[in-house]
A and B are shown apart, each in its own frame.
Chain A
Amino acid sequence: MKKNKNYILTPQLDANDDKALVIDINCKNYSSINEGDIIATIESTKATFEIPSDYSGFIYFLCDIDDEVKVGDKIALVSDDLKVLNQIIDDLNNESDVEKNDKSPKLTKKAEAAIKKYKIDINKINKKGIIKEKDILDLIKPNDDSYQEILTLKGNKQLGKDLMIASKSEIPHSYVEIEFNVTKLLQVISLLQKESANFVSLLGIITYATANALKTNKFFNSYRYNNDIFIYKDINIGIVISNDNDLSLPIVRNSDFLLPDQIVKELFRIRKELLKNKSKIKDYTDGTFTISALDHTAIKSFVPIIHPKQSAVLALPSITEKLSLINEEVKIEKVINLGISFDHSFINATMANNFLSDIIIAIEEFI
């Protein structure tokens, strides 16, 4: 024994190798060994080597089985004084204490992000094992006792929610509306319903007029992606029809080639197939413009949300009555606040006004 502290180093095994794998450790830490005892076996390319100790004393290993050691790396520490050995080991352990004392829970990346987003105190998480995003969301979920019931959006309702959120975050919405006197139009509709075999409705005429206006206002039959505006070839108008429980969006394909009664017929056909559970995908896809119809409600004005991959949506609220002075005579007129939500990144209010005016002109020409 030459000194109180001696290291056993990884030897140069052959000309080609500068590292080896520890495959066996032959004695326990703190055990007493003699010079020449085999303390470990290491493996280089295609050969294993036994490592003898050059010293006698108490041994402590600085590597473990399956560790890769480089030539010259310390394999073990040998000292003839157990106190000295313990002191050195304490010093070594203190260096890694910070790492060892880190008892913070294991988190997935999504859980980490949720903690940051909701400002959760990590110490409040009382769960063993890896913590998932759901574990964090469960923490911020309202106390279930406060609610009569908690419902979860599924299927079309979940899809609708996702589409609306995507639309509001991607498209800068703007809205304008104009008052449109429908007194004469309603009279014509009433007349047609009595005299004609073909059923015509307010929604059918509005859809017909909108399709005609879209022909000359091409930006309203388009959508924007980044800096590009994609103008559609066809005019496929979707009609949002809602009731208490659900919402549907049938698409009247090539609306510009149909007359009002044909549009109504088409909507009836789609509705009929829906009731028979025989809906076709083509009747609900590829819309290029949307009309949100709330004319059956008491809502006088509303701002609809633009459908993704479209640039505008027409709001059709309920008909209201208004007193007007015509030829010094007070009359009750029926009006509707025809509104439009549009992508303000490339459509301005004047364009929206022109589009609404064109719809009204198309209606007036029809009647």
Chain B
Amino acid sequence: MRYLESLNLALDQIMSDNQNAVIIGEDIKDPYGGAFKVTKGLSSKYGHRVISSPISESSIVGLGIGLSLNGFKPIVEIMFGDFITLCADQIINGASKFPWMYGSNFDLPMIIRTPMGGRRGYGPTHSQTLESLFFNIPNIKIISPSIFHDPGQILKDTFYKMKELNLFIENKISYPNEIILKEQVDDYNISIINNNTEFVTLSLVFDRQTRPDIVLLTYGGMSNICFEVARDLFIEEEIIIEIIIPSLVKPVPFSDFHESIISCGKLVIVEEGISICGWGSMITSNLNDELFDSLKAKPVIVGSKEFPIASSRKLEDKILPQKSDIKKAILKIL
């Protein structure tokens, strides 16, 4: 099953089972079914609960907040993650704070789904990875499943357990990919390393009997790229890499990967966003506090360069993190 299909089926089931579920977004109704077709077929089935909105991201999110406060469970689609900046006030000063501001605690269950990421030549305002804008905003969860997760299942789990605002980040390049729900792919063993939570963290490693030479920590759309790097370096150099892929980006599930880092001592963090003040910085800061003595080398963060993302594919490749950048980082600290 493809990533896109998994999300579409999950939304279908959510809408079928929950009369208070509504989907709001631009061009999401049939026959178009959304820019990336995630909502295709849903308006035909669920009619007025799939709301095609005007082009006004702030009001879409505002509508979602209002519906949530009135007992609905809204799922908002922002067509491109880059437009999340237009919703920043509704998210930061509204959704994240309302449950705390009025004297009594109440829930604000809501999901904002949006595609992020580049590698499609969409240019500076349609290719960014902007979830880091919300890393230091309390009361917001950020979730980003990879193709090694079941994105539909994670979306359903998020929906059924949500009490606050959830940003659900879908990397564009993952949509057409088949999701990998096997225990083994290309001789790599895939296992869940946190059984007690809905937000699955996965570990991919070639040989569980051998201690990995390095841990590669990543999420979302960079996961398949990291997998290719791990496979290449194993074939070329017999370097054993454990790839750890959380589906929960914020709050970072530190305890899920602490054990691997203690055992290996060497870590490369890979993210598609600009690495300054990003996900990797959050993690290295935690490692300084918690695991400094276990580190055998300074962790390296690989991310995008500090440039607007170019439309030219060749320039885009120079800006976004590539396989070669990750390989270089790994070889640097081995």
Q: Report yes or no: A45 in contact with B4, Cβ–Cβ below 8 A.
A: no
> Which chain B residues in 273-287 approach chain A with CB under 8 Å?
none
- Nearest B residue to A133, CB-CB: B238
SS of A interface (majority): mixed
A133 surroundings in chain B (CB, below 8 A): 238
Known: A21-B176, A46-B126, A108-B234. A129 touches B187 (CB 8 A): yes
Q: Report yes or no: B235 in contact with A130, Cβ–Cβ below 8 A.
A: yes
Judge if B227 is at the interface, Cβ distance under 8 Å: no
CA separation between A129 and B186, bound complex, in Å? 8
Q: Report yes or no: A23 in contact with B235, Cβ–Cβ below 8 A.
A: no
The proximity string for B residues 218-239 relative to A, scoring 1 for CB distances below 8 Å and 0 otherwise, is 0000000000000000111110
CA separation between A48 and B177, bound complex, in Å? 16
Q: Report yes or no: A23 in contact with B175, Cβ–Cβ below 8 A.
A: yes
Nearest-neighbour CB distance to chain B for A64, whole angstroms, equals 10
Judge if B2 is at the interface, Cβ distance under 8 Å: yes
SS of B interface (majority): loop
CA separation between A152 and B120, bound complex, in Å? 53
CA separation between A61 and B4, bound complex, in Å? 21
Known: A66-B177, A108-B234. A46 touches B35 (CB 8 A): yes
Give the size range of B's interface with the partner: 20 to 34
- Nearest A residue to B34, CB-CB: A48
Contact of A109 among B4, B37, B235 (CB under 8 A): B235
Known: A23-B176, A65-B2, A129-B187. A41 touches B238 (CB 8 A): no
Give the size range of A's interface with the partner: 20 to 34
Nearest-neighbour CB distance to chain B for A320, whole angstroms, equals 52
> Which chain B residues in 32-56 approach chain A with CB under 8 Å?
35-37
Known: A45-B122, A46-B126, A129-B187. A23 touches B35 (CB 8 A): no
CA separation between A138 and B36, bound complex, in Å? 51
Judge if A282 is at the interface, Cβ distance under 8 Å: no
Which residues does B use to contact A, with CB under 8 Å?
2, 4, 35-37, 120-123, 126, 175-177, 186-187, 206, 234-238
Which residues does A use to contact B, with CB under 8 Å?
21-24, 41, 43, 45-48, 65-66, 106-110, 129-130, 132-133
Given pairs A48-B36, A130-B234, 20 additional interface contacts (CB within 8 A)? A21-B176, A23-B4, A23-B176, A41-B37, A45-B120, A46-B122, A48-B37, A65-B2, A65-B176, A106-B187, A108-B234, A108-B237, A109-B236, A109-B237, A129-B187, A130-B186, A130-B187, A130-B235, A132-B238, A133-B238
